[in-house]
Amino acid sequence: MPDNLTELTIHEAHKLLKSRQLSSVELTRAYLERISRVEPEVHAFVTITDELALKQAEAADRLLEHDGVSPLAGIPVLIKDVICTRGVRTTCSSKILENLVPPYDATVVEKLKACQAVIIGKANMDEFAMGSSTENSALFITHNPWDLSRVPGGSSGGSAAAVAAGETVFALGSDTGGSIRQPAGFCSVVGLKPTYGRVSRYGLVAFASSLDQIGPLTRDVADCALVMNALAGYDRRDSTSAPRPVPDYTQCLDADLSGTRIGVPKEYFVEGMQAEVATAIKAAIGQLERLGAEIDWEVSLPHTPYALAVYYIIAPSEASANLARYDGVKYGFSYQAPSMWESMEKTRQYGFGAEVKRRIMLGTYALSAGYYDAYYLKAQKVRTLIRREFDQAFEKYDALVTPTSPTVPFKIGEKVDDPLQMYLSDVCTLPINIAGLPAISIPAGFADGLPIGMQIISKPFGEETILKIAHAYEQATEWHKRRPEI
């Protein structure tokens, strides 16, 4: 049995499991031990489902004797705590759902269970997925395994930190404005936000329904393709899921980028961007060129500077509607006051944290009588222009490449008191959600030991192009092999 069990990728572990050199129970135990060792420093898990995991591992071991099992069989996975798990508490890292035990599984959880993956726990996050640092969790703060004094990014910070710290083989996250890619970049792991509609949102607690997507966080690009094979596809329970066939995403992993046309949008090298980040990403794009890609360094997407405002009108507006359901009647925290209205107002006052309240207020304002046209409708129109601009770009280019974030991971506490500064850390990722596009973040360097992520974007349902470019880059570099010293 190899001694680095908690550093294995899915495809490496699968080989060992299939050849019976390793059992899923052994693998799962190794992860549970690793969790008990590093969790006091990282704090990535809201719930550790150790008993459930060992039971699932035993079942997987019985199946692994047979042919035709999924590459995910017997592999530990961590689920972001915004995705419903039947019988396992799902908190959204919020006081208001602290004790919620869902009566059903999200479609993605059903699919992972059907693959016999081993659910090892639920991951900490910014409350209701609103944030960029996991500091908005109402439960506790997650620390970046590369430097414990820094944030892991957010909102899927627990998922990304756990993959980086060797506490799970892979994780699920959700991405509304960068919540998979930004933490993937901050923790030096691979994180994909699929095309809107590619993966079912059934059982994902809604934040902003026209922007939310579930996706994988993994140790390498091949793993990302394997998890996408399991997750993608139409689901009649999500009326926005796309009725399109799912390709085998592992088939596009190719090292040769000859003839691949890549554009570099200059607006993404924003003012205030950390110099080391710009330098690292430009070097990474140079590497893509050496692998055969044709690079156009002078692409312009002139509506990019408006994306932040569009996002912070549309996302809070949708959130204010989605979060209206938390009234303390059917589930969740419930404050008992003498009157109905007071019960409801107090339930929401004590149940929601500061950032969630801020976004509910913002969204309610943008949708209120007299302001709807100036804010919400205007933002939806500019959304059209942003999408058109991308459509035009993808007539010329197969993919666009940018930094994932303008900086390396920042210090815990550095931005909590300044919402606008915090919002700016998603400036490179949120235009992608506005347009509904797929995009990945992959490890692309370090500055003073802190990770830098590269974002690769493609047209709707262009996941294969993204995975191909990401894989080729990864095979030519060593960044993804570095592990934090923890």
The residues annotated with a catalytic role in the active site are 80, 155, 179
Between the alpha carbon of residue 343 and those of residues 138, 166, 346, 418, 454, the distances in Å are: 21, 44, 5, 31, 47
Q: How far is CA 102 from CA 83, 86, 89, in A?
A: 10, 5, 7
Of the listed pieces 5-13, 56-64, 165-173, 360-368, which binds another protein according to CB under 8 A?
360-368
The residue within the footprint of another protein, chosen from 33, 62, 329, 392 (CB under 8 A), is 329
Beta bridge partners of residue 235, listed in sequence order: none
CB of 263: closest distance to another protein in angstroms?
A: 20
421 binds another protein, rule: CB under 8 A: no
Tokens 């059907």 sit at which residue?
A: 114
Q: Which is nearer to another protein, 112 or 313 (CB)?
A: 313
CB of 326 to another protein, least distance (A): 10
Amino acid identity at 153: G
Spatial distance between the Cα atoms of 166 and 395, rounded to a whole number of angstroms: 40
Give the number of C-alpha atoms closer than 13 A to the C-alpha of residue 442, restricted to the C-beta side.
28
Task: Determine whether 453 is exposed, middle or buried from the number of CB atoms within 10 Å of its CB (0-12, 13-18, 19+).
Answer: buried
Instruction: Compute the least distance from the CB of residue 350 to another protein, in Å.
Output: 8
Structure tokens at 175: 């991405």
Q: How far is the CB of 380 from another protein (least distance, A)?
A: 3
Q: Kindly state the smallest distance separating residue 419's Cβ from another protein, in Å.
A: 6
300 Cβ contact partners less than 8 Å away, ≥ 6 residues apart = 265, 266, 267
- Among the listed residues 419, 446, 475, 476, the single contact to another protein using CB under 8 A: 419
The helix/strand/coil state of 135 is: coil
Q: Taking CB under 8 A as the rule, does residue 352 contact another protein?
A: yes
Strands 76-80 and 118-123 turn out to be: parallel
Q: Is 300 in the site for another protein (CB under 8 A)?
A: no
Sheet strand arrangement including 190-193: 45-48, 118-123, 76-80, 170-175, 213-218, 190-193, 439-447, 450-457, 399-403, 261-265, 294-299
Q: Minimum Å distance from CB 237 to another protein?
A: 11
Instruction: For residue 199, give Cα distances in angstroms to 133, 242, 376.
Output: 24, 8, 27
The length of the chain in residues reads 486
Selected from 11, 18, 37, 378, the binder of another protein by CB under 8 A is 378
Q: Which of 177, 191, 328, 484 binds another protein (CB under 8 A)?
A: 328
Query: Interface with another protein includes 207 (CB under 8 A)?
Result: no
Out of 71, 74, 197, 216, which residue is the one contacting another protein (CB under 8 A)?
A: 197
The answer to whether 303 contacts another protein (rule: CB under 8 A) is: yes
CB of residue 53 to another protein, shortest distance in Å: 23
Q: Which of 203, 173, 164 is nearest to 191 (CA)?
A: 173
Q: Is 379 in the site for another protein (CB under 8 A)?
A: yes
- Among positions 108-167, residues that touch another protein (CB under 8 A) are none
Sign of CA pseudo-dihedral 277, 279, 280, 282: positive
Does residue number 272 form part of the binding site for another protein (CB under 8 A)? no
Q: Which of residues 140, 269, 306, 446 is near another protein by CB under 8 A?
A: 306
Residues 330 to 349 in contact with another protein, rule: CB under 8 A: 330-334, 336-346, 348-349
Q: Is 434 in the site for another protein (CB under 8 A)?
A: yes
Q: What binding mask, one character per residue, do residues 239-268 give for another protein by CB under 8 A, x or -? A: xx-xx-------------------------
Q: Does 103 bind another protein (CB under 8 A)?
A: yes
Member of 227, 362, 452, 454 binding another protein (CB under 8 A): 362
The span from the CA of 54 to the CA of 51, in Å, is 5
**Residue 415 interacting with another protein (CB under 8 A):** no
Q: Where are the alpha helices (DSSP H) in 291-377?
A: 307-322, 340-351, 354-367
Q: How far apart are CA 77 and CA 109, in angstroms?
A: 10
Q: Which two tokens stand for residue 93?
A: 């890292």
Candidates 29, 210, 266, 476: give the one binding another protein (CB under 8 A). 210
Which of 1, 33, 101, 300: binder of another protein (CB under 8 A)? Answer: 101
- Which listed range, 284-292, 324-332, 403-411, 474-482, lies at the site for another protein (CB under 8 A)? 324-332
Assess contact for 64 and 70: CB atoms under 8 A: no
Please tell me the distance from the alpha carbon of residue 217 to that of residue 181, in angstroms, as a whole number: 9
In the range 383-402, which residues lie near another protein by CB under 8 A?
Answer: 383-385, 387
Interface size with another protein, residues (CB under 8 A): 74
Q: Which is nearer to another protein, 236 or 396 (CB)?
A: 236
Q: How far is the CB of 411 from another protein (least distance, A)?
A: 21
Is residue 98 a contact residue for another protein (CB under 8 A)?
Answer: no
Q: Does 370 bind another protein (CB under 8 A)?
A: no
Q: Does residue 381 interact with another protein by CB under 8 A?
A: yes
Given a contact cutoff of 8 angstroms between Cβ atoms, the answer to whether 473 and 465 are in contact is no
